[in-house]
Structure 1
Amino acid sequence: MNQNTIWLFKMAWRDAKASRVRLLLFMASIILGIAAVVSIQLFSHNLTDNIKLQSKALMGADYTIDIKQAPNTQEQALIDSLQPDAKEVNFVSMVAFPKNGGTKLVKVRGLEGDFPFYGTIDTAPSVAADTYQSSGGALVDATLMLQFNVQPGDSIKVGNLTLPIAGALKAIPGSTAISTSVAPPIVIPYQFLEATGLLQFGSRKEYQYFFKTPETLDIDKFAEALKPKIDSGNLDLDTHTSTSRRLGKRYENVGNFLNLTAFIALLLGCIGIASSVHIYIKEKLAAIAVLKCLGASRLQSFLIFLIQIAGIGIIGGLIGSLIGIGIQTLFPYLLKDFLPFTVEISIAAQPLIIGVLLGLFMSVLFALLPLLRTWYVSPLEVLRVNERATNEPLKVKLLVYGAILVFLFLFSYGLLDNLKYASAFVLATLVTFSVLAGIAWLSIKGIKRFFPSRWSFTVRQSLLNLFRPNNQTVVLVVAIGLGTFLISNLYFTKDILLAKTEVEQNADTANLILLDVQTEQREAVENRIKASELPVVSTIPIVTMRMHSINNRLVNEIRQDSTRKVNGWVLSHEFRATYRDSLIDSEILKEGIWTPRLNPGDPIVISVSDNLAESAKLNVGDPVVFNVQGVLMKTIVGSIREVDWRQMHPNFTVLFPAGVLEKAPQFSVVLTAVPNDNISAELQRNLVAEFPNITVIDLRQVFTIVEDILDKVSWVINFMAFFSIITGIIVLIGSVRTSKYQRIKESVLLRTLGAKNAHILKISAFEYLFLGALGSSVGILLALISSLCLALLLFNEPFVPSLIPFVVFLPGITLLVLVIGLSNIRTVLNSSPLAVLRKEA
């Protein structure tokens, strides 16, 4: 390292020491932005790696074949040719504990074979996992056993079958915290399934076959080769690699929001860098001019401050990365109910390197435009007694602005992994920046044009400060407004996301659902409910069917067409349709005409949900032929409905009018309302004892589980929103605090001319009050417009804006700007003018 380089580093260090307060605020913007990005990115990588490593253990096999009904001869022949290593039939049902009369909705899994091939069935005692099939016992969810105070050796009644409990089931491949909370798993030997008497008409059951393959087999190529045979039937093939990809997709929305939040925090940091360095470099122009008079070259004066900013970026990136590593350890705990496994956190050097490089790159890039001012400043221009700022050539400005836009786009695309969203976000930021700068510029011109010459001296002086030479009006309004816009937009978006997942309970609606009620049982079940002095809210008939042809093309023909646009699930799905003469609250007619009732001989006009219409490429007037348990039924799509699937009562993709399906083989769903836990438990015990095939879902339990999950989601979203708000406040403090060094000279001159402290306070107060109110109000209004567009165009939700940004952010940010601004002149008020000038010199 030569002497010239050493001198440059020494000059950068000495100047940084003298300006450490301003540079610490500048560094804080980098630290918080980098911390948010590193923490979320590191957790996302850990989650992805865990899913890949544990994909076989999550499934328990290399691949599985599923079917929603007993396989036919052709399907069974295909399955047998592949030689499954284990098989299972699973279904949801009620079980009872004879020891205390307790009942519970569970998922019964009848297993045969040495499943799982990867991972383990975790039981207590541990030997129960190996012996339950030979001993003829049941493995019962451990939490369920605690709830009903049963032990191994006690018995459990599954339908008509009573089995001894072999052990407590702690974990088994294929279960998550959410699924086990709603329907805990019960594992029984496969050979006892028929004895339960629960596999009846209309029962929702799944036949599953498990396969283990040699390590050398390429599972994806094997699945691709097998796909034509699988698609020719109603089978579904799933590999451990596809499970890994699907799991990653499941958590994509949560990750996208967290990435968006991190990007906002980083963008706020960039705003802090740009505004802080802009004002900081303005203060250094005189020192740079002196350096040039003493023989320093353009390159040397530029490099001194470039080294200074780059050093701060590296240090800030390193500190932010270390903080981010600490923060990311919180996410596995907060999101554990969403994950089917425990995420093992590993610390790698990559996020540290990325954080440091990101800190360096963003600090230099966003500080580049004000740094270039050091290149073009002339000693003669600065030594003259004037306040005209040095301007860079327009080409240089456009080049830097272009580089910043490219950086923002590439970084947002890297985080969001969506070209449309990344472009929209950068465009919205650019429009917001332009609007804020334009409003600030118009305010300056308006005040200058209509200056109130008859107002008091303090008000006139504060307004003069807004358009005096070297003013910071545009810089501060843009910094305050853009920070407020991002914070408010995040808050509004958070409300939209949480509102989209809200679960509302209504005391007047059903909260207990009885599934799989057979036709011959319906009257007796209703009488049992009425005998308990409870209402039968509604009885919904269910008819199962499959699509035979769509738009005059056979389903089998469509299935074999490699260029088909119809979604694959439609072709093999067993639809559970109903019939009635009216639409319900969760349905809105989008297209066509709803036909409530048909007369004998009329064409059968049906209504389909919008998601089915999209997947099957159906429009109003298209013909569809259904196979209703062996009978072909020709129908016409008469209307398309938008269905609110969030409402917890039965909704249907296919809806028939009254007068068509009444005589078809069917079963029913019965809805009732229970006032409390005791009555609910008593009714469930009576129903299970008399009708063991009926499944009872207590929505009050589901509400509790979902609300607990939503509370955790809300906590994560609020935490990241708060993180960005703190970043925004740091940016505001840095932007306004840095302007202190331009105000000192004016305040000292006013003191020298005889102005009192009260005058100076009022002048500063009016100016900062105007800047804070203008920037924050415009930022909130722009955020309101942006969030409205998100709600209508992206989330398809009605937008009810929160009052928090208006009643908290607007006065809060304005007050914050005012307090920071007034603190800037504390030195002037507490000291003599001569002492202040000597200190600042």
Structure 2
Amino acid sequence: MHKHSKPGLGWIFKMAWRDGKASRKKLSLFMASIVLGIAAVVSIQSFSENLKTTITQESKALMGADFKIDSDNPPDERVQQIMDSLGGFQAREVSFASMAAFPQSKATKLMQVRGIEGAFPFYGELETLPVDASQTFQTQAGALVDATTMLQLDIKLGDSIKIGQVTLPVLGQLNSAPGSTAVFSSVAPPVIIPYRFIPQTGLVQTGSQIEYDFYFKAPKADLKALDKKIDPILDNEDADLDTHKSTSERLGERYDNFGKFLNLVAFIAVLLGCVGIASSIYIYIKEKLKAVAVLKCLGANKNQAFLIFLIQVGFMGLIGGVLGTLLGVVFQQFFPWLLEGLLPVDVTINYAIPIMLFGIALGVLMSILFALYPLIGTLYISPLQALRIVNEKTTKSIKAKVLVSLGIFGFIVFFTFWLLKEWEYVLGFVGGVLMTFSVLYGLAYLFMQSIKRYFPQHWGFVARQSLLNLFRPQNQTLTLILSIGVGTFLISTLYFTKDLLLDQASLESDANNPNLILLDVQSDQRADLKETLYVNDLPVIRDVPIVTMRVERIDGQPVDNIRKDSTSQVNRWILNHEFRTTYRDQLIDSETLQSGTWTSEIDDNTLVPVSVSNNFAEDARVEVGDQLVFNVQGVLLETVVGSIRTVDWSQMDLNFSLVFPKGVLEEAPQFRVITTKVPDEKTSAKLQQELVKLFPNVSIIDLRQVLSILEDLLGKMSLIINFMAFFSILTGVIVLIGAIKTSKFQRIRESVLLRTLGAKSQQILKINALEYLYLGVLGALSGVLLSLLSSQLLAIFVFKSAFVPSLIPFLVLFPGIVILVLFIGLSNSLGVIKKPPLVILRKKDR
């Protein structure tokens, strides 16, 4: 008796290759799901890594020094002693926003005036044209003006710029400077002048927001130790120490928050890819069960049959991971263009090899892990199933499926944590996804049970057959409803969230809202300035008094003691901030009373009731009835929290954290903010020129220019959000196509048998159309409704915003997905109808 050698690993690989090659069309959409999911992860993670690296490398150039000490007030004796102990500053700067006039072009502009003394910057450079202007502007007593402003206002080198009482020649155009941010520079572009001219401008007055910066060059200093030792002391003196490392960390954290949104999109894309893998492999393996049974009849053991298909899946995952990684590397090249104007640095795009390797490994892991559940079925297939259908469920298969399910759950949890970095969000999103799967499964099960129980026996043949198809042996009703429902849910949630983000950032314009704001109006200028507006036929919409003050005590505790108390939960900004407050007798449109009693006016010297914003109350840990003492420019004012207001800070209005009743602050040193509305650009330009001549200290914000800038930025944000949303939507559509396309191979035999028995092509089409209609409507409608609920929860708990649902998912997405399901399903049936039944039945691979 001839003894045959047992098939080895080489035979298993050959079988996997041959079978996979024959089934490549069925597996192509499976691989597409992997490719797009991996591309999303690799592109977003690679770009985030490049952004962090660039910020770290250029942190010194971003600040221009190793560290700086800054304050809103001139340094007192203690701060001066600290700076002397550090060897003294090597450069200093005074900066503030002010109007600047250009006599030659008769133009005016709100600009960020920066008075610099010393060899600043120590790192990086002032990029100017001509190049030597960055060195000569101090000795030649001239100004460096923002290049974009010069272009917009047609300013030439040698023209004059008037800032307050000082007029200087424009010696160079400023292309970039350390310490300037793209967003703020769009609103108030920088102009750099010698430090010695700042006092001569006459713009340092009561209410003016001035920042004092002292720069240090200390390349060998231990900046972390210095920050830990000196910063707490400076905090007590209302000053702050910033190192270039801490600045880059803050920038990194700021863009980490932006990255979380992109990572959420990557999470959705990957999850959709996983759904696509699971659904397509589930149906694919179901079709291969007879082939597995035949292999076992021929002597293959269960492990060999299992490995054949596991190797197939792993190899497809490897190819998908490689292609997805390469596509992700290409995609990340577009990010700097999409984010232009929103980033603090020009990001250098490099290939992040660890992330690329991770992307490839993730493709293999996703494929194998989400294919294991259906693959387990091959281990317990009886050879008898080659002859007839045997539905076997063993204890071993149940145990294996439980272990695989735990593995999938663990993968989703830890992968989500790797993306989002916060357990609160991880548990929320993973819990939401599990709930969605459970609800969709429950709805599909109830739907099938309801049809079984209340089957419409009186319906015609076509309608009855379409319902019966949902219960055919080896049907994919649950699989397809889950795939369609989850895909629709994720796409709809992303769409609702996209709208929520864009609506939250949108700008509303009202005919009654002011479009010109006049800041820092001194009390003795108030009457003359209002008269100037009246002469120009312009209204005074708001005339708001501003009084500056600091918090001195909270509920009897001095702020110095609170600073030293490491257990205190009072937010640091409450203790250090100089508040701009006002007094009035009524609430405004952007405010609603949350708790307490609003006091309009007081006429005695009792404890003053102050109204605080809800964010102030939360950060100061105070409630209605708690006492606060304020230092009003040297005078202590005892108050009690009389009410707490909810303030909509997004509204274009003059909102305040602290509002006092009338009868308290009228005699305190103060300045005014006056608003008006100009009809057109010509009137605005004429008024600004007049006001700059008469009141050089008054800063003018033209909201039309600000709105234009903000709309550009919001347009870029909208482009990013829509781009990433489209990315995930495309993944979802491919998943739906894959799920429906792979299901056609199970419908062919039924359609062929119906034709053999005499059914007409039109009847078969109607049967399939009705079946796909049921699946599409139930899956898509369930997904949209569940996404509506999830988006409402996101609005409440994550975005803290009112949610007004868009009709697009109901009017476009829902019917669109139903039509897509119908189109793909019917296209599957055309091949059966156009060919003779015998030809189709003879095909080994359908």
- The TM-score by the shorter chain falls in which range? over 0.9
Aligned to 2:281: 277
Query: Which residue identity lines up with residue 112 of structure 1 in the other structure?
Result: E
- For 1:185-264, list aligned pairs within 5 A: 185-215=190-220, 217-264=221-268
Query: Which residue identity lines up with residue 658 of structure 1 in the other structure?
Result: K
Give the distance between the partners of 1:580 and 1:326, measured in 2 at CA.
57
Query: Which residue identity lines up with residue 756 of structure 1 in the other structure?
Result: K
Aligned to 1:502: 506
Give the distance between the partners of 2:352 and 2:110, measured in 1 at CA.
44
Q: What is the CA-CA distance between 1:3 and the residue it aligns to? A: 6.8
Match of 1:814 among 806, 815, 818: 818
Match of 2:383 among 361, 366, 379: 379
Gaps of 5+ in 1: none
Q: What is the CA-CA distance between 1:826 and the residue it aligns to? A: 1.9
**2:629 is aligned with 1:625:** yes
Moved more, 793-802 or 629-638: 793-802
**2:194 is aligned with 1:175:** no
Q: 1:507 to 1:80 in 2, by over 3 A?
A: farther
The alignment covers a number of residue pairs equal to: 838
Give the distance between the partners of 2:360 and 2:78, measured in 1 at CA.
60
Aligned to 1:760: 764
Q: What is the CA-CA distance between 1:300 and the residue it aligns to? A: 0.6
Give the distance between the partners of 2:660 and 2:553, measured in 1 at CA.
17
Query: Which residue identity lines up with residue 829 of structure 1 in the other structure?
Result: I
Give the distance between the partners of 1:816 and 1:100, measured in 2 at CA.
60
- For 1:485-524, list aligned pairs within 5 A: 485-524=489-528
Moved more, 683-692 or 495-504: 495-504
Give the distance between the partners of 1:73 and 1:605, measured in 2 at CA.
36
Aligned to 2:669: 665
Aligned to 1:268: 272
Q: What is the CA-CA distance between 1:313 and the residue it aligns to? A: 0.2
Aligned to 1:437: 441
Aligned to 1:422: 426
SS of residue paired to 2:641: strand
**2:111 is aligned with 1:106:** yes
Give the distance between the partners of 2:270 and 2:232, measured in 1 at CA.
48
Aligned to 1:162: 167
Contact preservation (8 Å) 2:49, 2:352: no
SS of residue paired to 2:145: strand
Aligned to 1:318: 322
Give the distance between the partners of 1:718 and 1:305, measured in 2 at CA.
38
SS of residue paired to 1:110: strand
Query: Which residue identity lines up with residue 782 of structure 2 in the other structure?
Result: V
CA distances 1:705-752 after superposition (whole Å, capped 9, x unpaired): 111111111111111111111111110111011011111111111111
CA distances 1:199-247 after superposition (whole Å, capped 9, x unpaired): 11111111111111133x2201111011232122111111111111111
Query: Which residue identity lines up with residue 265 of structure 1 in the other structure?
Result: A
Aligned to 2:543: 539
Q: What is the CA-CA distance between 1:114 and the residue it aligns to? A: 0.5
Give the distance between the partners of 2:578 and 2:139, measured in 1 at CA.
35
Aligned to 2:53: 49
Give the distance between the partners of 1:397 and 1:69, measured in 2 at CA.
67
Match of 1:291 among 295, 298, 311: 295
Query: Which residue identity lines up with residue 154 of structure 1 in the other structure?
Result: D
Q: What is the CA-CA distance between 1:81 and the residue it aligns to? A: 3.1
Contact preservation (8 Å) 2:291, 2:386: no
Contact preservation (8 Å) 1:777, 1:810: yes
**2:157 is aligned with 1:152:** yes
Contact preservation (8 Å) 2:413, 2:426: yes
Contact preservation (8 Å) 1:97, 1:156: yes
Q: What is the CA-CA distance between 1:50 and the residue it aligns to? A: 0.7
Q: What is the CA-CA distance between 1:497 and the residue it aligns to? A: 1.0
CA distances 1:245-288 after superposition (whole Å, capped 9, x unpaired): 11112123321111111110110010010000001001001111
Q: What is the CA-CA distance between 1:26 and the residue it aligns to? A: 0.6
Moved more, 383-392 or 68-77: 383-392
SS of residue paired to 2:115: strand
Give the distance between the partners of 1:596 and 1:752, measured in 2 at CA.
88
CA distances 1:420-473 after superposition (whole Å, capped 9, x unpaired): 111111111111101111111111111111111111011111101112221111
Contact preservation (8 Å) 1:377, 1:390: no
Aligned to 2:349: 345
Give the distance between the partners of 1:562 and 1:288, measured in 2 at CA.
67
Give the distance between the partners of 1:145 and 1:593, measured in 2 at CA.
52
Q: 1:825 to 1:387 in 2, by over 3 A?
A: farther
Alignment identity in percent?
A: 56
Aligned to 2:650: 646
- For 1:388-787, list aligned pairs within 5 A: 388=391, 393-787=397-791
Give the distance between the partners of 1:308 and 1:528, measured in 2 at CA.
81
CA distances 1:35-72 after superposition (whole Å, capped 9, x unpaired): 11111111111111111111111011111111112222
Give the distance between the partners of 2:429 and 2:345, measured in 1 at CA.
34
Give the distance between the partners of 2:838 and 2:472, measured in 1 at CA.
24
Contact preservation (8 Å) 1:387, 1:469: no
Contact preservation (8 Å) 1:231, 1:560: no
CA distances 1:603-641 after superposition (whole Å, capped 9, x unpaired): 200011111112211111111111111111100011111
User: Could you state the TM-score of these two structures normalised by the residue count of structure 2?
Assistant: 0.98
SS of residue paired to 1:547: strand
Q: What is the CA-CA distance between 1:390 and the residue it aligns to? A: 6.0
Aligned to 2:3: none
Moved more, 473-482 or 638-647: 638-647
Give the distance between the partners of 2:282 and 2:335, measured in 1 at CA.
37
Give the distance between the partners of 2:651 and 2:69, measured in 1 at CA.
31
CA distances 1:156-191 after superposition (whole Å, capped 9, x unpaired): 111001111111111000112211110010101011
User: Could you state the TM-score of these two structures normalised by the residue count of structure 1?
Assistant: 0.98
Moved more, 649-658 or 522-531: 649-658
Q: What RMSD, in angstroms, separates the aligned Cα atoms of the two structures? A: 1.3
Contact preservation (8 Å) 1:176, 1:338: no
Aligned to 2:73: 69
